[in-house]
Amino acid sequence: MSCFNTVNSSRVQNNGVRFDLYRELNDLKHKYAKLQKEYEKVLCLCRQAESMLLFHEKEKEKQMRHTQMLCENCPDDIVLLDKNLTVLLCTSSVNIRFDREVTGGAILDIVNDAFGEDFMYQLERGLVDVLRTGEAYSFDTKLYNRLMKDGDKQAFYFSIRLSPTFDDYGELSGILILAHDITQMHNANVQAEQATRAKSSFLANMSHEIRTPLNAVIGMTGIGISSSDIDRKNYCLHKIEEASTHLLGIINDILDMSKIEANKFELSTEEFNFEKMLQRAISVVHVRMDEKHQTLSVFIDKSIPKTLICDDQRLAQIITNLLGNAVKFTPECGSISLKAKFLHERDGVYKLQIEVTDTGIGISPEQKSRLFNSFQQADCNTARKFGGTGLGLSISKSIVEMMGGEIWVDSEPGKGSTFCFTANVKKSAAKKRKCRLHPANHKTLRVLAVDEDRDVITFLEENIKGFGMKCDTALNGEDALRLAENNNYDVFFIKWKLPKISGVELEQLLSGKVCKNDRLFVLMISSADWSALEDKDIKAGAYKFIQTPLFSSTVFDVINEHFGKKQQAVDTHAEIPDYSGNNILLAEDIEINREIVLSLLEETHLGIDCAENGSEAVHMFCEAPEKYKMIFMDVQMPEMDGFEATQYIRSLELPQAKSIPIIAMTANVFSEDVERCLASGMNGHIGKPLDYNRMMEVLDEYLGVKEQ
């Protein structure tokens, strides 16, 4: 019994030990599992920390790349300084500007080397102020970079801002410099201010330029009205005409400039005679040239075709402007030359060069730089001394460039000027006409040319012989009389103002003593217009006056005209056509304009009915459509304007409504205005102020007898 109990007790004791061990083992397992989880958490956190570290490193690298990109590509100059004003970081533009690596350098030393002490002290004052106050400081400055090569002293303008930087504890740690280049903006502002001043000066000048001819018109009108002397009245009318023409030129310049600035300036091409175009341009300035006793010589390259295609009106405008300036700035008894040269031809396009040379006051290099600018003249005193709008050369430059050319000037003060421009013109498709004289035996004609100017004599001799006629020359009246005693001449070219024996006296001697012909055919050469000569000169027997400079076509035309008309008496005015039996309708709301048209066309015997607005014009046409051969239609009228009236007439179920010529007669003269008139159904356009010759051309086109 006792033994059994002892055994059982040992088992129980052993089992207790095992249980304790088992329990401890379980505890260890739980602790291990818990530690395992903690380990996994820590491992996860480590991995997360590692990922975060990698992410931040990548972000840091990314930011570094972005910072580097900003530094390399930022157009502004940015410099980061520490508290000791040492450069920590800067943009690439800074290194380029200073032509060195500036990082680590003292900013004041760097600036002093490049821009000098003045800017260094200016910058230092701003930096000290930022370090002292902890607030930003800004200023604008003008700099000259001494490090630039080739001695370039171009000025740069900068807007500079100095901003404080702070550390994590809010303590000032340095300064950030931001320098923005405002050179372009500054120059633009300067140019804008200059343009504003130029336009203001231009407007003031325009006020003077416009008021001057207006004063002449108003003043001479009053004098003419109060005068009973017909010669006095005619003098006043002549001065009014001159002032009105001058005023119209000013207005045209202003309109042209406004079209150029609005990009609405256009060229219109048509076939024209080159010599005739030059004659028109010269005739505009000839009176002023004659008043100042200036001489004009003209040279035309024989390689230039007689007929060309381009905008001859604008080409003449350029030449007239250059000639007008030459006359204006050349003193009395000076000389001016006009030369037209042929440069080359490519694919039917000719390159021409026109030169106008004078012996005037000349132009300095500084004045040349602004000569072709809008609203400016060479000198601010030019307008006061010589007058003018200051637009002519600018307009000419725009026209030349539209013609594919360029314009320039060669000049020195006191040595005159030569203005040159080139232009592209097209070859005419028309067949070349032969110049033929009317009589079959023109080769038997003999001419005597008398002029002390050898250039004129040479010109006449070459051209007259070129027409197949014989030509002798004399430099004075005595030589001419000796030649005429031994030869029978058919034509005489005599200069009006000859030394010793004048042209008129020579004509009288030839007519009364020497010449064997029943009547002389004398062409009196004069630089003045024939209308300026005295009646006694005209009565002396001269058949016709021709104005210098001479042109081949002029010489040919006057000879051809004489022998074609068989000694008809000279008619100083163009023959006025007779339109008796024809009726036209004039739609015009302004009474004075109606009166002008009626007066201009009075001698044509044309029947003219007037309507005061578009509605009345439509009514009158509907009442008698077969009566009218043409309608002159104003554009801006009350009740119904010209466009509406034209469209209404064209829509009528009348045979005449579709075919009757309707011509716009309006002050709206821009190309878009002309196009709108044609688009509304009109056949043509006449601008105001009315040009008599243009009106006669239109009447002849629609009412004149057509050649068979």
460 within 8 A of 471, measured Cβ to Cβ: yes
The phi-psi region of residue 571 (left if phi > 0; otherwise alpha if psi is between -120 and 50; otherwise beta) is: beta
Q: Is 661 helix (H, G, I), strand (E, B) or coil?
A: coil
Q: What is the pLDDT of residue 383?
A: 47
Confidence of residue 13 (pLDDT cuts 50, 70, 90): low
pLDDT beyond 90 at 222? no
Residue 525 has pLDDT above 70, yes or no: yes
Residues 144 and 366: their CA atoms lie apart, in Å, by 23
- What's residue 521's pLDDT? 78
Say yes or no to pLDDT of 424 above 60.
yes
**Gap between the Cα atoms of 427 and 512, Å rounded:** 50
- Residue 212 or residue 654, greater confidence: 654
CB 699 within 8 A of CB 579: yes
Q: For position 369, what pLDDT does the model report?
A: 75
Residue 462 has pLDDT above 60, yes or no: yes
Closest CA to 376 of 363, 385, 364, 389: 389
Confidence band for 497, pLDDT divided at 50, 70 and 90: confident
Which pLDDT score is estimated for 67? 62
Among 81-95, 100-114, 226-240, 580-594, the least confident range = 226-240
Task: Classify residue 564 by burial, with Cβ atoms within 10 Å: 0-12, 13-18, 19+.
Answer: exposed
Q: State the average pLDDT over residues 296-311.
A: 88
Q: Give the integer Cα–Cα distance in Å for 394 and 378.
A: 12
Question: What percentage of the chain has pLDDT greater than the value 70?
Answer: 82
Q: What is the pLDDT of residue 14?
A: 64
Provide the token pair at 660.
């009757």
Mean pLDDT of 674-679: 89
Lowest-confidence region among 69-83, 329-343, 610-624: 69-83
Amino acid 607: pLDDT: 94
Written as one string, the DSSP assignment of 662-705 is EEEEES--SHHHHHHHHHTT--EEEESSPPHHHHHHHHHHHHSP
Q: Which residue has the higher pLDDT, 436 or 87?
A: 87
- Of 636, 633, 673, 668, give the one whose Cα is nearest residue 649: 633
pLDDT of residue 166: 92
User: What mean pLDDT comes out for the span 34-41?
Assistant: 82
Q: Answer yes or no: is pLDDT of 640 > 60.
A: yes
Does residue 554 register a pLDDT over 80?
no
pLDDT tens by residue, 566-585: 433 333 344 678 899 999 99
**Mean per-residue pLDDT for 531-547?**
56
Supply the pLDDT for residue 9.
Answer: 57
H or E element in which residue 88 lies = strand 87-90
405 backbone dihedrals φ, ψ, rounded to 5°: -120, -165
Structure confidence at residue 706 (pLDDT) = 42
Between 671 and 335, the more confident residue is 335
Residue 696 burial by Cβ neighbours in a 10 Å radius (0-12, 13-18, 19+): middle
Mean predicted confidence (pLDDT) in 21-43: 80
**Of 212 and 25, which is predicted with more confidence?**
25
Measure the CA dihedral 620/622/623/628, to 10°: 70
* Residue 178 DSSP symbol: E
Q: Cα(174)–Cα(32) distance, rounded to whole angstroms?
A: 56
Rounded-to-integer distance, Cα 367 and Cα 325, Å: 15
pTM above 0.85, yes or no: no
For 394-405, what is the mean pLDDT?
Answer: 90
- Average pLDDT of every residue of the chain: 80
Per the CB < 8 A criterion, the answer to whether 355 and 420 are in contact is: yes
Nearest Cα residue to 78 out of 65, 91, 95, 64: 91
Q: Once rounded to an integer, what is the mean pLDDT over residues 7-30? A: 69
The pLDDT tens digits for 341-380 are 999 988 889 999 999 999 988 888 878 777 887 655 544 4
CA distance 646 to 508: 60
- So what's the pLDDT on residue 127? 93
Model pLDDT for residues 48-66, shown as the tens digit of each residue: 877 777 777 776 666 666 6
Element (H, E) at 37: helix 2-73
The torsion angles phi and psi of 11, rounded to 5 degrees, stand at -65, -45
pLDDT digits (tens, 9 = 90+) for 110-123: 888 888 888 889 89
Contacts of 590 (CB under 8 A, 6+ apart): 634
Residue 99: pLDDT band (50, 70, 90) is confident
Q: Percent helix, strand, coil in the chain (nearest 5)?
A: 50, 20, 30
Measured CA to CA, the distance from residue 679 to residue 587 in angstroms comes to 19
Find where tokens 């005159």 sit: 416
Token couple for 70? 């900003």
DSSP 106: B
The pLDDT assigned to 28 comes to 81
Q: Which of 167, 195, 181 is nearest to 94 (CA)?
A: 181
What mean pLDDT do residues 506-512 have? 77
Residue-wise pLDDT tens digits, 225-269 = 888 888 788 878 877 887 787 787 778 777 777 777 777 777 888
**Alpha carbons 560 and 489: distance in angstroms, whole number:** 16
Residue 215 contacts by C-beta under 8 Å, 6 or more apart in sequence?
none
pLDDT at 433: 47
Which residue from 652, 676, 679 is spatially nearest to 666, judged by alpha carbons? 676
* Model confidence at 151: pLDDT above 60: no
